[in-house]
Every structure is written in C-alpha cells, then in structure tokens.
Chains A and B, each alone.
Chain A
Amino acid sequence: MTAIRTAPRPEDWVRLTPQGLYVEPADIHIDPLRGVPRAVITHGHADHARAGHGAVLATAETLAIMDARYGTAHTSVRQPVAYGEVVDINGVRLYLLPAGHILGSAQVVLEWRGQRIVVSGDYKRRRDPTCSPFVVQPCDVFVTEATFGLPVFRHPPDQAEIGRLLHSVRLFPERCHVVGVYALGKCQRVIALLREAGYDQAIYLHGALTSLCDLYRRLGIALGELHPVAGISKEALRGAIVLAPPSAVADRWSRRLPDPVVAVASGWMRIKQRAKQQGVELPLVISDHADWDELTRTIDEVAASEIWVTHGQEEALVHYASRRGIRARALALVGYEDVDPE
C-alpha cells in the first residue's frame, strides 16, 4: 500500500473574503472587487479588472487593456505572463490558460499539494476570431461563471446572427443599422465576424468604441476600415453599419442617424421580452459567455469532483452538477455586475 497523502480540502486554501476569491498560501486574490496587495486578473472587463491593486499578474493583453482604460498608474507592479507559463508563488503553481471570452482572457490554474483548482473567469467555448479558444484543463475543483446558467440560453451560431444583420441591411438599404455592442470584446468580435462574412464596407464607430478598437489592432487583430461616426453626414450613413455602446442605441444619440434599425448584440437578446423592453428592432444573439450547453459540457469535460459557481444564474447549474453526482455550490459572489458585460 502506498502512503496516504492527505490532500487538502479545497476550502482550506482557496476561500472567499470580502475582497473576493483568495488563495491563501500564495496570498493572492483573483479578480478582487477592491484594491488588494496582489491580484491575478482573468480579463479586462471592468467588473473583473479594477484599478488600485499593488501588483497585478495577468496576460500582456489584459494588462494593456487595463492600462488603456485606467491609465498606467492603476498599479505599480505588472507581471505579464504568457498562456501556459508557470509561476511559483510560495509553493503554489500558477499558470494561465485561454478562456475564449475576449482578447487576453484567461483561466487561472492553481496547483497546491497535489490538488488542482481552475478558476475560469468568464469564458465561452465557441470560436472567436479575436481571441484564443478555451482550453479544457481537467481539475479537482472547477470554478465557473453562470451568466447564462439556465437551459433556455442556447446561443445560435454567430454566423447565422451576422447573416440576419446583413440580410436586414440588404432589405432596408435606405436605413442605417446601429448595433449596440459592449466596448470591450463584443465590439471587435462583431466587426471581425462581419469581415469574415465578406462585409468590406467601412464600419462606423461611436466615440466610446474607438480607443479599444485601436488597441485590438495594435495587438494584432485585423478589423478592416473603421471610421468615427462623428462628422459623417446623415445621408452618408444610409445603408451603413454603425456600432455604439448599448446605452447609446436606444437613446437620443441615435436620432442623428437616418431612420436607424436598432440592433443589439448580446446573449440577453434571446429573451424576446427583454429585447422588446429595450426597444430593439433587430435582436442579435451573440454572446461572449458560455451558454447552457457550453457550461454543462465544460463541467463534464473538466471532470472535476467539485464545482463552485461564481456569478450569474447559479441555482440551475448547481442543480445540474448535483444531479450528476458532482459536489456543487454557489459562491454567491456579489459585486460582479448582475448583467455581466455582454
């Protein structure tokens, strides 16, 4: 008989503190909700990446995004790591793997005393031309999001949604199509998908979207011809596609556009009521988060014996995992936006 190694209980070394998920032997927080001495950041969305940490470990892309958003003074020590590059922090082996959510997004893999915990951050499983695809890493504990953790959320293929947008552009050539997109990730992905679908016209941008598009291009993502919408005549925008933050599309801002068809690209657009309430004429179900099938498939593939659900619609996912004999619990993390940047 081999010696019995007493594996730690996961909650003995990774636990919740008021600042967020804390890895005690490494003395680091992952995506902390407020300033901490040492933070590991999964990706650049504002509810995960906050300013004011003493030191930040993240992918180079995530650090560049944080610098672009907060200015370089948001931290004093940046530690960029490549996907798969192992860092040892006081006996904890830590490395990042692609999460497929947005450019630079990462899962945090933690290994300590023979146990492996993977904190996925936000993720999706489908292909995205603007970022590296999710890597399945089998583990003992998988910490997952559940933004779309109900079986009604099953995103259609994004090419089909882009097809609907282009179909509408053809059907209403005298109108302008304004698409509400989150500034980081969704915006660039929609542009890249349009380019893949063969749309080679100039795409017009609301002022709030230009700097992150520039950053993506500097980081090597091709987006084709983009122009700020400011200063373009109403006539010239007939038949054009304009991207704007979701808050601007149903707002006074879009009145400057010629008879706009209001579209929004978001996983929430799956629910008709929700789309109707926002005054959306063309709901495009394009999401940067895993849908129900992707969440459950990932739980199956990582083969963890325990699942922790960070934020979103936790109860259904916990129920699903429990029914499969997996220990599951909701961390009930507060502070991540109820409606995640989508």
Chain B
Amino acid sequence: MSAAFELAAARETEAGSMDRFARLLDDLLFSPSRLTKLRLMKEYFAEAPDPDRGYALAALTGGLDFRFAKPATIRQLVESRIDAALFAWSYDYVGDLAETAALIWPGTAVANAPAPRLSAIVAALDGATRADVARLLAMWFDQLEPTGRWALIKLITGGLRVGVSARLAKTALAEMGGIDVAEVEELWHGLTPPYTDLFAWLEGRGPKPTVDHAGIFRPIMLAHALDEAELATMAPGDFRAEWKWDGIRVQLVARHGRRRIYSRTGDEISGSFPDVVQALDFDAVLDGELLVRRGDDVAPFNDLQQRLNRKLVNDKMLEAYPAFVRLYDILFEGEEDLRMLPFDERRARLESFYARHIAGTNLAARFDVSPMIPFSDWDMLREIRAGADVRASEGVMLKRADSPYVAGRPKGLWFKWKRVAATIDAVLMYAQRGHGKRSSFYSDFTFGCWREAPDGGRELVPVGKAYFGFTDAELAQLDRWVRAHTTERFGPVRAVEPRLVCELAFDGVQRSTRHKSGLALRFPRIHRIRWDKPAKEADRIETLAAMIPD
C-alpha cells in the first residue's frame, strides 16, 4: 500500500473544512427525499463551526455568487498537470468537466497539508485577480480530496446544483432552532453571510438578530398558474379578480426616510427609477407593478426595457419613459404589519392609504391603485379577460378574498390566469450571426427550457430558434450581451451562459424527432426580453409538452 493512501485514510475530515462541506453537497446530491436532505443539513450545521457553516448556508441559498472561474480556466489548469490525451479520454468517459477535473487531479490529499476551510477559501477569493485564482485553485486542489475539488469547481463556476432550494435550507435552520421557517424568512433579507448572529440565536446562545427593518425587502407572495379545470371547484364568491399588468413586479419600501425599490427577487433597482424613488414620500411597504406611462395609457413593455438595466438615467429618459407603479397590495403602514390580514381588509387599507397620502397630491403621477374587476361567475370573467388590451395586461389574477400575504408561492390562494397560453419563458443558449444587413450582429437565437438532468439536477434543452420580435436597439443590446457572456464558440455560433430569459410567443407546439427535447415550437418569436427574470425561473419542458395537441 502506498503511503499516500494510508495518510489519507488517517486524516480526519475537519468539520469546518471544504472537504466536509463537499461531503454534505455530495450526500445531498444523492438523497432522493426531502426529509433526508433536511437531516443531512441539520447535522452539518450542528457540526460545522462558524464562520464556515455560514458560508455553506450562503452557498446553499444562492447567496455566494462566486463565478470566479470559467470552465476554460479549470480545463487549462488540469492540462498543465495532466497529459492532454489522458484528459480527453477521461472527459469523454465522465462527461462532466468538474467531476473529471476533480478525479483526475494528480496526488492524493495528504495529512501534512490540512484541507482549506470553507471560510478561508471565501476570504482568499474575495478580491483575487484572475491570475490569483488559478494559483489558489492549484494549491487547494492539492490539499483537497476529489469530492472537495468537485464541490469547489462547482462553486466557483456557478454550477452548484444539489437539489436543495433556499427554502429547504432555511427549513433546516428553522428545525434546528425549533422555530417556524417564516421567522427565518422574515429576518433573511436583513442578514448577511456568515450569519453568525443567526446561528447563535438558533442555538440559544444569543438574542434574535435585530435587522434594520426600515429598509429591508420582505419576501413577496407569488401566484400559481391556474389550471382551468380547477375553476369548477372554486366558488367565484371566494375570489377577487384584478389585471395582471405587463410590467415588472416590485416592492416599494419607504420607512423612516429610507426609500427603496426591490424587484421580486429582492434585488434593489432604485438606481434605475429615481422618479419613483423621489415620490416615495410616505411610510409604508407596498406591492405593485412598475410600468411606464405613455399619455394616459400604459406603454408597451418595450418602453420599460429602456429604463431597466440603466445605472444612470438622464432627464431625457425620464421624460420620454416616465415610470409609475400600479399598486396591488399593502404590507406595512407605518409600524403596523398588515400581512396577516385577509386580502379584502388589506385592499380596503390600501385604498384608504392611497386616499389619505397620495390622491390629490403631486405623488399621484407616480402611483395608482390597480382596479378590481367585478364579476359574478367564471364565464363572465373569461369574457372580460379575452377582451383585455393585449399590450397592457397578461391576463387576470385571482386572489382569495381571505388570503393573508404569505411569502413564497403558497398553494390555493393566488392564481394567475394568463390571457395567451402560447408564451413561454425560455433561456438563451446559443446565438448565431445573422445574414444580410444583420450579419454583423448575433441575431439568430436558440432558446431552451429546463428538464431534469441525468444527474438529478437540471439542464437546458433547446426548444426553438427565434430571429425576430425585437427592435434594432434591443438587437444591439442582445448582441452586446451575447459577446459578453460567451462560453464557447463553434464557427459562427456562440454558446452563452444560461442566464438570460426571454418570453417567447409561438403558434403551437409539435412533436419533433429532430430536436433533443422531442418537441418544436411553431413560429417562435421574442415577445420580450426578461432582463429581470432569473434563469432558474424559466419554464420547464413539461409545460411545453402539455401544450402538444393530442
């Protein structure tokens, strides 16, 4: 037996080491059940010390956006140590770059070089240059076991998928502290890694962390897509209806002089909308749809696009594309938390709040209240919905009259009844140079939807190509984005990072043996570019499959 093996066997895995965290990730990857995953996480959080477990928690909840290295960096690093032919055969056999690199890296972890702690890795990567990263990785690879290397590569290339949602990780915390997960959610956006105070509280060693409630984002409430068959079981009198406006969902936070606009994922977008921020001259937390006004009408989504993703907004933009928020709900008025009130009561509070603080003042140019749609039965609502202005609304929302405001996507309370079924959110995968006058732009786009990958995670499969549906200005933006996010090139085609979501409109779905996904969209076009939407929220292939006519 070689000495290296014996030493490796003798080495205890330190609870705070990257190897221990990697083992958790590996175990989670293979665990089919929710309960098992919860127990594995609880065990880890109980065992691992601060601050390592806090960074682990951040990694599990998507709060550690590492992305320090591209797959090409890893490949280069490995090829500096390994014969290229051996690497090629191995990669071909294993099929996953991170796993191949982790397994093939020469040398076994040895006892005299302790595995790096997770917190040490986070600290070293913070502020590291590209050149530093390659050097650090080589050092850590030498110190880690194969599973540790695998997890590290997945972390730094942004490809960590072990089948754990942020919600599940928070549930493990809640169970650890014997509290309700809602309490964790409530604090969450006010806390930052490594969450030392949170763990101290959960373990009964410290007080409940006080977060600066004044400016924090409150997790928002989302709706389920309505399955029309369910209408039969739903009493029209139990529900309220309103339009689902075609803008972006926001949360307005105006407390104690702090003013913030958050997207639905909790990202602050105040900087792009100074006109709205300036008008947050009250003390409340409101939920609504950010829109752009054109005359008395809501402008097409395109106009809002002009305002998104701009760090600096000039006066001309502000004038040409004036933003406003159509209010849906009220979460706080002053110190009073209204979220547990039934929808009907909150709605009355919203209207009263609007009447007292906004109506008749100069703030009214920036806010209005989304009107309710009166209806007596589902057929009537179906007709109203069909006759709606195509450009402004995507359909109607149904909200139970007695629904409290619950974070996440609770079952049975809110439903979205989309007007056009034939749109889907897909992720940009490849871009190809166009022809003729568009030949200098990447203008032919291949989009994909998610499906379960053989490794239990998920993967994108192409569902169609779209060449139009965008303005010239948007084409230029897309082109820039493609160039900045290319991962690989094959001739005129570039593969891009799977991060940009577009809403595709199409005329139908067909089975197709030519496509890997087994289906093809008819006449797909880009309906709009969802710069705001996280790629993981794009649609799954099953959604499309359900649209294939029998």
Contact = CB atoms under 8 A, between A and B. Distances in A.
A150 B8 CA distance: 21
Given A273-B454, A313-B93, 10 more contacts: A126-B1, A150-B90, A151-B82, A153-B103, A154-B103, A157-B5, A157-B9, A272-B96, A272-B455, A323-B83
14 contacts: A150-B90, A151-B103, A152-B100, A156-B146, A157-B9, A160-B9, A171-B40, A172-B36, A272-B26, A277-B454, A281-B31, A281-B32, A282-B30, A316-B89
A319 interface: yes
A50 interface: no
B25 to A, nearest CB: 11
A281 B39 CA distance: 14
A281 B163 CA distance: 13
Given A282-B30, A315-B89, A323-B83, A271 B5 contact: no
Contacts of B103: 151-154, 270
B99 A271 contact: yes
Contacts of A313: 89, 93
A46 interface: no
A101 interface: no
A125 interface: yes
A293 interface: yes
Contacts of B1: 125-127
Interface in A303-342: 313, 315-316, 319-320, 323
B86 A320 contact: yes
B236 to A, nearest CB: 44
Which 8 A-B pairs rank lowest in CB-CB distance, beginning with the nearest?
A157-B9, A152-B103, A152-B90, A151-B104, A150-B90, A316-B89, A159-B9, A152-B104
Interface of A: 125-127, 150-154, 156-157, 159-160, 171-172, 270-273, 275-277, 279-283, 293, 297, 313, 315-316, 319-320, 323
B90 to A, nearest CB: 5
A320 B96 CA distance: 23
> In terms of DSSP, what is the predominant structure of the interface of chain B?
helix
A273 B32 contact: no
Interface of B: 1-2, 5-6, 8-9, 26, 29-32, 36, 39-40, 43, 82-83, 85-86, 89-90, 93-96, 99-100, 103-104, 106, 108, 145-146, 454-456
A151 B90 contact: yes
Contacts of B95: 273
Contact of A316 (B26, B86, B145): B86
A128 to B, nearest CB: 11
A302 B484 CA distance: 53
Given A152-B100, A154-B108, A270-B103, A276 B455 contact: yes
Contact of B89 (A150, A271, A280): A150
A271 B93 CA distance: 9
A281 B30 contact: yes
B86 A319 contact: yes
Contact of B94 (A271, A279, A293): A271
Contact of A156 (B29, B145, B454, B456): B145
A4 to B, nearest CB: 38
Contact of A272 (B29, B32, B145): B29
A228 B136 CA distance: 52
A313 B83 CA distance: 16
A196 to B, nearest CB: 12
B250 to A, nearest CB: 40
Contacts of B108: 154
A276 B456 contact: yes
B96 A283 contact: no
B5 A152 contact: no
A152 B93 contact: yes
A172 B454 contact: no
A150 B83 contact: no
A273 B94 contact: yes
A317 to B, nearest CB: 10
Contacts of B454: 273, 276-277
Contacts of A319: 83, 85-86
A172 B32 CA distance: 14
A127 B5 CA distance: 11
A171 B37 CA distance: 12
Given A172-B39, A319-B85, A320-B86, A297 B93 contact: no
A272 B99 contact: yes
Contacts of A156: 8, 145-146
A28 to B, nearest CB: 33
A171 B46 CA distance: 13
A320 B82 CA distance: 11
Contact of A150 (B2, B93, B96, B455): B93
B51 to A, nearest CB: 24
Nearest to A280: B30
Nearest to A155: B5
Contacts of B93: 150, 152, 271, 313
Nearest to B32: A281
A320 B90 CA distance: 13
B159 to A, nearest CB: 13
A56 B282 CA distance: 95
B90 A157 contact: no
Contacts of A323: 83
